[in-house]
Amino acid sequence: DQQVKQNSPSLSVQEGRISILNCDYTNSMFDYFLWYKKYPAEGPTFLISISSIKDKNEDGRFTVFLNKSAKHLSLHIVPSQPGDSAVYFCAATSGGSNYKLTFGKGTLLTVNP
Amino acid sequence: NAGVTQTPKFRILKIGQSMTLQCAQDMNHNYMYWYRQDPGMGLKLIYYSVGAGITDKGEVPNGYNVSRSTTEDFPLRLELAAPSQTSVYFCASGEQGGVDTQYFGPGTRLTVL
């Protein structure tokens, strides 16, 4: 049973436009959510996170939105750049879990010049 | 700092062989994790450790063993390799209380034939 779902395997956008990556979760115990970025042949790198007490967190071109009632979060990248092309993983954890992460399957973002 | 290092980068095993995947970190992190990523899937937690001498099972521990004799090292042992263990293995480390600071190694690509 997938507790973190990324239903779009891939997304293609034009450079300069907005990229929106979506993530849904089912476990109501999750209270912290993260986005990781992964290039081929490399390990994932942390991008941005959000606590369940917030509904928005912004870091430069990256913004994460959390809708707890819908158990949905999204990552917005504005403006998108070709270097953003990578696989993006949504992950979730809960305070009592020793920071163990539950990952979604990932979304491959391609930003076209 | 080298961060999180993993060896080897690639390995091919025959069914029934055993091997140890090495992981080391130089950031003095208490928390360490082993994940596997199958094609088209998210990362799944195999084992984790909250400090030297303390380990616990994750979501998919069968067929693996770990030990944590030092803060720096967290080797993953595969006994009696099976084709189902063909995957990319990622080691990660993190600070206590800092889920945002989970750093991943570059991964080991293992094929069992």
The per-residue pLDDT for range B85-94, each reduced to its tens digit, is 999 999 999 8
Nearest to A100 among B58, B106, B107 (CB): B58
Residue A4: the pLDDT is 95
d(CA B71, CA A76): 37
Reply yes or no on whether the pLDDT at B108 is more than 90: yes
Say how many CB pairs under 8 Å bridge A and B.
Answer: 60
d(CA A3, CA B13): 32
Q: What is the mean pLDDT of residues B10-20?
A: 96
Name the residue with higher pLDDT: B57 or B97.
B57
Q: In Å, how far are A35, B5, B42, B102 from A51, measured between CA atoms?
A: 12, 29, 21, 16
Q: In Å, how far are B60, B83, B109 from B80, measured between CA atoms?
A: 16, 10, 17
Q: Do residue B48 and residue A100 have CB atoms under 8 angstroms apart?
A: yes
Q: Consecutive 10-residue runs of chain A (113 residues): their mean pLDDT?
A: 91 98 95 94 93 96 97 98 97 81 95 96
Residues of A in contact with B44 (CB under 8 A): 103
CA-derived radius of gyration, chain A: 13
Is B63 touching A (CB cutoff 8 A)?
no
